Amino acid sequence: MRRRFIIDTICTAFVGLFGYAAVSKLIDYKTFLVQLGQSPLLTEYATTVAWLVPAVEMLTVVLFITVRFRLLALYASFTLMVAFSVYIVVITQFSDYVPCSCGGVLEKLSWNQHLVFNLVFVALAVVAIVLHSKEAAEEETLLQ
């Protein structure tokens, strides 16, 4: 019961995070496009990334809502959060030009704070994946 509660809570947190991030990016699409253009890593691919990232976030939200694909959604969330975290590290440590951070409420965070925030969600994704797999394994054992 407790395990199920933890998994559900983490999934709800991800739904809220990705839903808010995707909607805020799509509402002010031009701002997001400009901010991506300022990134030395993404400036040449800003147009593609500007629609791709919100689309993947929305798709992840849909996968979370569909219980059957919850594990896939958790893997997608883990991948997204790791990618965002590595991007922050590359931009702040290896780039000669550090743009402003973006993402609605997260604009208020500094890059380091943003990194910590992302890593927390990476850890939550790992926990949820492990618990989900344990639950699935136990269900298989019971069925046998």
Residues at the interface with another protein (CB under 8 A): 30-31, 33-34, 37-41, 43-44, 46, 75, 78-79, 82-83, 86-87, 90, 94-97, 99, 126, 129-130, 133-134, 136-137
Nearest distance in Å: CB 13, another protein: 18
Pair of tokens at residue 44:
């040449």
In the bound complex, what is the minimum distance in angstroms from residue 144's beta carbon to another protein? 12
Write the burial class of residue 10 (CB in 10 Å: 0-12 exposed, 13-18 middle, 19+ buried).
buried
**Shortest CA distance to 118 belongs to which of 144, 91, 69, 79?**
79
Q: Nearest distance from residue 36's CB to another protein, in Å?
A: 9
